[in-house]
Amino acid sequence: MLYDSVQIVPVRKPTNLLAMDWDDMRAWISTLGWPPYRAKQILCWLYQKRVTHISDMTNLSLSDRSRLQAMATITRATNVTIRQATDGTKKFLLELADGLEVESVLIPEGDRLTLCVSTQVGCTLDCDFCLTGKMGLKRNLKAHEIVNQVLTVQDHIPLKSRLTSLVFMGMGEPLANMEELSDAINRLTNADWGVGMSPRRMTVSTAGLASRFKEVAPLQVNLAISLNATTNVQRDALMPAINKLHPLSQLLKACREYPLQIGRRLTFEYVLLAGVNDSIADAKRFPKLLDGIRCKINLIPFNEFHGSAYTRPSDRVIEQFQMVLRQAGFDVFIRKSRGRDVLGACGQLGDLQL
């Protein structure tokens, strides 16, 4: 028979070193019979020296490197496409191992370089003004796929510049993928073997998944809450899924109870939609709503996308809204729209056909 002599040899998929956290790496190293310090050596190569080839791990002997190469890989995104907007913002499209794509947006501003990172492909929430919500949830990202966005983008910026802040405000609802998010933040903040960025320079933005706030606090990152409405009825219309889960009053109660460290404050984001939530009456509801919460406010004029029923208010209306809030004693900033011509601005991530 034709196939009689064919031997079936099981093919083991090589281990992706980036998919392992500290504990995984320690356990794996010990199964290889290597000393525990080798775990830290390898992780430092991955996150601090950012090598992409095992052969570059020069404090491992040549034979250890070839043993490692036989079993493992350093698998980053398979394909990276970069679209540069006229304002210097760059949208990175990263192809994942299963062919799905994820987006990260690099935003240079003066001497600051901010990366907006995604935590899910798509999103479970259905916020009416957000393009990502329209695609539904494809899947959660793994911790290494979140960290990979940072490593890959860092490889594309000049050696002398570095990322100054990370915002978890890309595709998805970060707190709906809490376990992988915490793991990613640990790898990014650990100074011993991880990337070593300060959690103070990181902001996690949530549509209002209040039940997870207690898991965010120990990470010591900044927390931004997308308020977007000043009455429960209005929030139900704009953000139905999340507001059903945690209605406005419950969300604000969780914000009041959030254990803020000394000198830090929450951020409230507020998407301004013309004729919907941009009236003086809306602005005048803020003081009572946010009473007793140490916070600042970021106004985000709506970024338009194809098929959306909403429009952006005029500059005059935006400034007036800001003025009313300022007069009420709030620190209020208007978030400049960046990268709109490559659909890289807030709420525009997900249109991958561009």
Q: Per CB under 6 A, which region of 19-27, 83-91, 195-203, 205-213 contacts ligand SAH?
A: 205-213
In the residue annotation, 215 being an active-site residue is answered as no
**Residue 230 interacts with ligand SAH (CB under 6 A)?**
no
Question: Total residues contacting ligand SAH (rule CB under 6 A)?
Answer: 16
Our finding on whether 269 is near ligand SAH (CB under 6 A) is yes
Structure tokens at 47: 């996150």
Residue pointed to by tokens 């907007």: 85
Q: How far is the CB of 185 from ligand SAH (least distance, A)?
A: 15
Does 207 engage in binding with ligand SAH (CB under 6 A)? Answer: yes
Q: Which of 52, 136, 142, 137 is nearest to 97 (CA)?
A: 142
Residue with Cβ nearer ligand SAH (65 or 134): 134
Among the listed residues 193, 213, 195, the one whose alpha carbon sits nearest the alpha carbon of residue 205: 213
Catalytic site residue from 123, 255, 295, 346: 346
Query: Is position 347 an interface residue for ligand SAH (rule: CB under 6 A)?
Result: yes
Say how far apart CA 327 and CA 331 lie, in whole Å: 10
Q: Does 129 bind ligand SAH (CB under 6 A)?
A: yes
Nearer to ligand SAH, 130 or 283 (CB): 130
Q: Distance between CA atoms of 332 and 325, rounded to whole angstroms? A: 7
Across-strand partners of 205?
224
Residue from the set 104, 226, 230, 277 that interacts with ligand SAH by CB under 6 A: 226
Question: E strands along the chain, which residues?
Answer: 15-16, 72-73, 79-84, 90-95, 101-109, 112-116, 120-122, 137-140, 165-168, 202-206, 222-226, 266-272, 295-301, 332-334
Site for ligand SAH in 147-176 (CB under 6 A): 169, 173
- Our finding on whether 346 is near ligand SAH (CB under 6 A) is yes
- By Cβ distance, which residue is nearest to ligand SAH? 347
Quick check: is 346 catalytic?
Answer: yes
Would you count residue 228 as binding ligand SAH (CB under 6 A)? yes
**Dihedral of alpha carbons 174, 177, 181, 182, sign:** positive
DSSP 102: E
Subset of 293-312 contacting ligand SAH (CB under 6 A): 300, 302-303
Question: Which residues carry out catalysis?
Answer: 103, 346
